[in-house]
């Protein structure tokens, strides 16, 4: 069974940093695009960042995290990371890793991803 396993969440003060990791098990996702989404209580799941392996590792971010969050992947470790800096209370959410096989520009759409992790909680205190 294919799984995506996130780790690295936790409680941090505003201005602090966290690094989330996503490690697939059961298969490799070398040809997939990988994304991070988040969902705060009472809100819809929203796009955070994506990395597109087949286009030279192009990265995309939602405007609210540009310059603060950075997505990367280590192919040797089959792991995707989300480095989160200068965290704000509004970044508080459950963060999900996702993998998708579509070759189009729908990297921001959660419906375009095939596999999801269980989520990891990130809480930023003010």
Instruction: Give the per-residue pLDDT at 56.
Output: 67
Instruction: Give the per-residue pLDDT at 122.
Output: 98
Instruction: Give the per-residue pLDDT at 1.
Output: 67
DSSP structure string for 62-124: -GGGTTTEEEEEETTTTEEEEEE-S--GGG-EEEEEEEE---SS-TT-GGG-SEEB--EEEEE
pLDDT tens-place values along the chain, 126 residues long: 668 999 999 999 999 999 999 998 877 777 889 999 999 999 999 999 999 875 568 999 999 999 999 999 888 888 999 999 999 999 999 999 999 988 788 999 999 999 999 999 999 999
How would you classify the pairing of strands 120-125 and 93-100?
antiparallel
Instruction: Give the per-residue pLDDT at 94.
Output: 98
Determine which helix (DSSP H) or strand (DSSP E) holds 60, and give its type and residue range: strand 58-61
- The residue among 19, 38, 16, 20 whose CA lies nearest residue 86 is 16
Beta bridge partners of 6: 22
């Amino acid at each position: 069974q294919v799984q995506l396993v996130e780790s690295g969440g936790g409680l941090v003060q505003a201005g602090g940093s966290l690094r989330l990791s996503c490690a697939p098990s059961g298969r490799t996702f070398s040809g997939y695009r990988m994304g991070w989404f988040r969902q705060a209580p009472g809100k819809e799941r929203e796009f955070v960042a994506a990395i597109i392996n087949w286009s030279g590792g192009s990265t995309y971010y939602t405007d609210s995290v540009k310059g603060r969050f950075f997505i990367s992947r280590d192919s040797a470790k089959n792991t995707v990371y989300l480095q989160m800096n200068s965290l704000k209370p509004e970044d508080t959410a459950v963060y999900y890793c996702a993998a998708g096989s579509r070759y189009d520009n729908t990297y921001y759409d959660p419906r375009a991803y095939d596999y999801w992790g269980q989520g990891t909680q990130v809480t930023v205190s003010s």
